[in-house]
Amino acid sequence: MALQVPDDCRYADSHEYVRPEGELVRVGVSAFAVDQLGDIVFVELPEPGSVLERGSSFGTVESVKAVEELYAPISGTVELRNEAVLSSPEELQNDPYGEGWLLLVRPSDPAQLDDLLQPASYRSKLEGS
Amino acid sequence: MAESLKRTPLNGACRAAGARMVPFEGWEMPVQFQGLVQEHRAVRERCGVFDISHMGVLRLRGDGAKDALQALVPSDLFRIGPGEATYTVLLNEAGGIRDDLIVYDRGRPEDTDGARDELLLIINAGCAEADTAWLRQNLEPAGLVISDRKADGVLLALQGPEAIGRLEALAAVDLSGLPRFAHRTFTLAGSAAAEAAGASAFVARTGYTGEDGVELLLDRAAGCALWAQLLAEGVVPCGLGARDTLRLEAAMHLYGSDMDSSTTPLEAALGWLVHLEMPASFIGREVLERQSAEGVSRRLVGLKLQGRAIARHGYPVLRQGQVVGEVTSGTWSPTLGEAIALAYVPADSTRPGTELAVEIRGKAEPAMVVKRPFYRRA
């Protein structure tokens, strides 16, 4: 099964994606990571106003099989979190790039976006794994 | 170490069916096929099939086989007769559990000239080597012959409310006279695939899912053919992931997680396996008698978590902020839609309704002691 890697996102090595939306970015986890986890039952996310530091853990995704930390792909402040995904974690499973987004973040250093993987690079990373 | 993993005869067939393979107790086994929850539901609602060929099957033969084995287990083996089976545990001198197993009384099969008793033992893959050595050490002096009954054969678990009907229709066998824990050797017929037709199968109405169903032991060719045919007819292949959530909902123990050589059956809430009223002595009996008289200091209980986070193996159990115990198994129950766990807690905290907490990633998550099993089929 070919897993989606949308062209309008940038990707972290730890499989989080960042989608620029004006001054803000939307953060979620890639379809590949979701597939690896399997049946997701629980998502933990920081409150709006929390400060994210690139590379630091900001939450967890738990599946029946395993629990995985989420790592901030970019530094910034949480503007909004997806409350729907907290109460219905299957949203993340079903639509990781759409209804299953996690955070809306105001980046403190938008230049960090350039350090993330381009879709083509992320795709080849997945193919090599 | 991946190259040293053992493979069951169904390894290739599992991969072809989309399995994600993982190392498990020295074997490369499917953890899931299409999806854990999907497989779990198939077994609860219809029927699923598991490759459990990694498990050990030992044959004990000799006059007085039961008397000899009785010295190693706390359950009265004379409560079962030919064609019946019992779940029990092998104990060490300290009353600790060496392994859990099912003992099948085969009576005096014809191919032993009716002269010798036969028992079959289905044991855990991870304990197979140690169990075999332990049984040889203790039973060979009594004249028993111990052999590997599985060799390169296939062990399947066909589980779910439709399991019996599916097998009856497929292999033209009548399982109506086979109550729970009964077993018999059948000849597969009917529309069974060429390699399976005419094959003899050891069929037991046992399982590890909390559903009705059977476990089957067949030779390699027949086992592979039956697996292929079941899948072709829409029976859902299931992996170790679903096997774990199913057994945990049914509060069936996993050896190595919920019990081991340092826990006694009384501590592991397996008191129903301990028959101290029988006169026979068995290894570990003194310890169990003492525990039975004085009470145990800790015992395995079922927990339900208030939140969605899963209490996993090794997480601390808290009472009023103090660590008092440890989680041994935990999952998200697909059937109940709740997080459930098994945990050792102090004897005074075992009553259903007792409010405890489990420390999950630094947070005390409220949990309550509940009756086991978490799920019981209607």
| Chain B residues within 8 angstroms (CB to CB) of chain A | 31-32, 35-37, 241, 245, 307-310, 312, 331-332, 334, 339, 361
pLDDT of B219: 95
**Beta carbons within 10 angstroms of residue B239's beta carbon:** 26
DSSP B76-95: -GGG--TT-EEEEEEE-TTS
Name the average pLDDT for chain A.
94
CA distance B49 to B151: 21
Q: Check CB contact under 8 Å for A41 and B308.
A: yes
Q: Which two tokens stand for residue B18?
A: 């989309």
The DSSP letter of residue A19 is E
CA distance A62 to A69: 9
User: Mutation test of the interface with chain B: which of A32, A41, A57, A90, choosing the one with the most B Cβ atoms within 10 A?
Assistant: A41
| Chain A residues within 8 angstroms (CB to CB) of chain B | 38-39, 41-42, 44, 60, 62, 64-65, 67, 89
Sheet holding B236-238, edge to edge: B183-187, B200-204, B213-218, B154-159, B48-51, B236-238
DSSP H helical ranges for chain B: 11-16, 36-45, 65-70, 128-139, 163-171, 220-232, 240-249, 285-294
| Nearest CA among B112, B160, B151 for reference residue B377 | B160
DSSP H helical ranges for chain A: 31-37, 83-87, 90-94, 119-128
Chain A residue with CA closest to B340: the answer is: A64
User: Mutation test of the interface with chain A: which of B32, B244, B310, choosing the one with the most A Cβ atoms within 10 A?
Assistant: B310
Show Cβ contacts of residue B126 under 8 Å, excluding neighbours closer than 6 positions: B25, B26, B255, B256
Which residues of chain A lie closer than 8 angstroms to B31, CB-CB?
65
pLDDT mean by block of 10 residues, chain B; 378 residues = 83 97 96 94 98 98 96 98 98 98 94 83 97 98 95 97 96 94 93 84 97 97 95 96 98 98 98 97 98 97 96 97 98 96 98 98 97 94
CA distance B187 to B53: 20
**Chain segment A10-60, per-residue pLDDT in tens:** 999 999 999 999 999 999 999 999 999 989 999 999 999 999 999 999 999
Q: Which two tokens stand for residue B311?
A: 């209490």
- Nearest-CA distance B36 → chain A (Å): 7
Chain B residue with CA closest to A38: the answer is: B35
State the pTM of this model. 0.92
From B35, B37, B310, residue closest to A42, measured CB to CB: B310
pLDDT of A3: 85
Q: Which two tokens stand for residue B290?
A: 């003492």
Instruction: Evaluate whether ipTM surpasses 0.85.
Output: no
pLDDT of A1: 46
Q: Which amino acid is at B262?
A: S
